Structure 1
Amino acid sequence: MPVISVPHDFNEEDLYVDLRSIFGHALFLKCEGFNFAGSIKLKAATEMVETAERDGLLTPDSILVESSSGNLGVALSTIAASKGYRFLCVTDSRCNLSTRMIMEALGSQVHIIAGQEANGGFLGARIEYVRTLCASDERYVWLSQYTNPSNWKAHYRKTAPEIARQFPELDVLFLGTGTAGTLMGCARYFREWHRPVRIIALDSVGSVAFGGTPGRRMIPGLGMSMRPPLLDESYVDEVIRVEEADTIRACHRLARRGFLFGGSTGTVVSGAMGWLARHDDRELTAVALAPDLGERYLDTIYQTNWLHDLYGEDVLKSDEVPAGPWAAASPTPPARWGRRLDLTNGDHHGTQRPQFQDRRTC
């Protein structure tokens, strides 16, 4: 029986959803939303805060400040409330209402950036606000999830070993890309592992994390309006860009089977299923990460008016029957299917880079 005294001491590490019966391809989805912050960001937040404490950057008078589209803000709010720090989250108008309300309920302050920086989009405007704020008051400590190595180290130390322990014959790992912390931590770990693992990065169309043309992005979580400073593409085998309409269709398909996941999960699942449909997956052990659950998206990707206004009334119609990238389903289970089941059950806009500081204090 787990008994904890602080919220970041609990995280469900070994829960996987078998997606074969829903999408027709063998894929194990690692669920990271079962903790008190509700997302995988609790790992990075804990690592960054505890590193800052060890380095003497945080004092009782410090005010944590971070730019976040949502989940990291909630994770830092959870930790700040537990440790007695003040926390200010700088976000923008795309942040879900429920996410903002959770942060405020935990005692954090939320500042919403309404406009966009000329070339850096919402992210550029958020970063500029944080830098100006820090310059005005030395009590502010900016953890800078975009440049902080503790971001990826959290997943090198925790997430990747959790997967390796359950899947010692892992072949393919699908990872969404935002700050690239999860991607780089897991990719670095498996690069050093005893057998090769193919690392597939999932990004949103309109994101410029891996280059390309910037475009409208309305679903928070994955994608960047700049190249992530933490990203090292030499660790990535392939990049798949997913349209937001396909993200939405994947989320709704999961929800119709009782699994309510967030937008980032929809992007990862849609891209992974497209990749598996193009490859012979009968002998592959494939895992994907679901960063959060879907309750925080009820007023966006699960809200009819929001969907129709942004993506048109037909956005969900193409998923009424199996189609698109998921159509090539293999009816026969792979040869190693039973053994793998045993393992799981075991005992937004613009391209200019905002100016970051290398230090975590402002």
Structure 2
Amino acid sequence: MQVFELIGNTPTLRVENIWLKLEFMNPTGSHKDRIAYYMIEEAKNKGLKKGRYVIEYTSGNTGISVTWLSKLMGYKPLILLPENIVEEKRALIKALGGEIRIVKEGEDGHLLAEKLAEELKGVYLHQTENLANFRAHYETTAPELFSQVKNIDCFVMGAGTGGTIYGIGKYLKARNEKIKVVLLVPKGSQLQEEFFEKREKDMELLEGFSYHSYSKLLKKAIDENIIDEIRVVSAEEAIKGTKMLMSYGILGGFTAGANFYQAKKMEKNCRNIATIVADSIIRYPSRMELIQQI
């Protein structure tokens, strides 16, 4: 067995009426291992040669997964990160052997990644538009979840790149069109403004949920009527949800907390709610004090 064969087949745990798929049990600690493997494999199959650069613009977790897999598979990882990403993620990417470029406020990270890929003769994975992102969840995460949880009637997930909710949501809808799929967007994000025509102030805590305009994959999920409802989730709700998870012994990160908090609010109308614990709070030691303040 090779180490990347440990990706996927994560367990699902029930907490009252909510089923939690524990994706932090993937090798690098997040569900992004799945999409990194799919995207790099696709690039390899399209002719990417060993020793070439694999480039990604990311809020962190995808960068960690891409760095880990790229090094294992003989490529050079180059990760572009926004300025506000927690230091722990930067440190882990460096420790795994990745190069980092910081994208300053006002810079277009996608354009920079495309330019670097051309200059370095590498590949820009572009997770927000890459259908391999969608396929990773449609072909692996979703079938696992569907086999683990009988009679799902609601699925809730944060926006992020759109790949997770598009892949899982489409798979679930194909099996039962009555399953309700709920999309979460962060309070204070551009997504909130685009969907609700207002943008409230809030702490940018939910790095993995995306504070930017919605992606190609998310647009496809909306255009294909995969999304039934869109809700706004605040940083305070995410922290409360994270603390609630900890009371059950589940060390989920803040995006998991946001998913769980909103899932709890849906219990009156849903009997079997499924969601994802994308990563672990252990990844965010510098933000642990936020939990103690609630």
Q: 1:202 aligns with which of 176, 181, 184?
A: 184
Corresponding residue for 1:183?
165
Q: 2:111 aligns with which of 103, 125, 128?
A: 128
CA contact (8 A) 2:8 2:141 kept: no
SS of 1:13's partner is: coil
Aligned residues with identical type, % of pairs: 24
10-19 or 166-175: which moved more? 10-19
Deviation at 1:14, TM superposition (A): 4.3
Which residue identity is paired with 1:143?
A: L
Which residue identity is paired with 1:250?
A: G
Corresponding residue for 2:276?
289
Deviation at 1:259, TM superposition (A): 2.1
Is the aligned partner of 1:303 residue 2:293? no
Corresponding residue for 1:265?
256
1:341-352 to 2 correspondence within 5 Å? Answer: none
SS of 2:27's partner is: coil
CA contact (8 A) 2:117 2:123 kept: yes
Matched length: 285
CA contact (8 A) 1:179 1:224 kept: no
Which residue identity is paired with 1:18?
A: R
Deviation at 1:109, TM superposition (A): 0.8
Is the aligned partner of 1:39 residue 2:30? yes
SS of 1:230's partner is: helix
| Structure 1 unaligned spans of 5+ | 21-25, 118-123, 308-312, 317-362
Deviation at 1:188, TM superposition (A): 1.4
Corresponding residue for 1:325?
none
Instruction: Give, in whole Å, the separation in 1 of the partners of 2:137 and 2:173.
Output: 13
Instruction: Give, in whole Å, the separation in 1 of the partners of 2:8 and 2:32.
Output: 13
Residues 122-178 of structure 1: per-residue CA shift (max 9 Å, x gap): xx632232233234x142210100110111011000011001112232111112210
Deviation at 1:263, TM superposition (A): 1.2
SS of 1:299's partner is: helix
Deviation at 1:42, TM superposition (A): 0.6
Relative to structure 1, the CA distance from residue 196 to residue 14 in structure 2 (aligned partners, 3 Å threshold; closer, same or farther) is: farther
CA contact (8 A) 1:211 1:227 kept: no
Q: 1:11 aligns with which of 7, 10, 17?
A: 7
1:312-327 to 2 correspondence within 5 Å? Answer: 316=294
Instruction: Give, in whole Å, the separation in 1 of the partners of 2:147 and 2:250.
Output: 25
Residues 258-279 of structure 1: per-residue CA shift (max 9 Å, x gap): 3211111011111111222xx3
CA contact (8 A) 1:151 1:181 kept: yes
Corresponding residue for 2:53?
63
Is the aligned partner of 1:169 residue 2:151? yes
Corresponding residue for 1:76?
66
Residues 24-44 of structure 1: per-residue CA shift (max 9 Å, x gap): xx1111100112211000111
Deviation at 1:247, TM superposition (A): 0.4
TM-score where L is the length of structure 1: 0.74
Instruction: Give, in whole Å, the separation in 2 of the partners of 1:90 and 1:192.
Output: 36
SS of 2:207's partner is: coil
Deviation at 1:61, TM superposition (A): 3.7
CA contact (8 A) 1:147 1:230 kept: yes
Instruction: Give, in whole Å, the separation in 2 of the partners of 1:100 and 1:222.
Output: 18
SS of 1:239's partner is: strand
Relative to structure 1, the CA distance from residue 133 to residue 268 in structure 2 (aligned partners, 3 Å threshold; closer, same or farther) is: same
Instruction: Give, in whole Å, the separation in 2 of the partners of 1:101 and 1:44.
Output: 21
Deviation at 1:13, TM superposition (A): 2.2
Relative to structure 1, the CA distance from residue 143 to residue 73 in structure 2 (aligned partners, 3 Å threshold; closer, same or farther) is: same
Q: 2:175 aligns with which of 186, 193, 196?
A: 193
CA contact (8 A) 1:61 1:139 kept: no
CA contact (8 A) 1:176 1:289 kept: no
Residues 16-73 of structure 1: per-residue CA shift (max 9 Å, x gap): 23222xxxxx1111100112211000111111111111122x1124201100111100
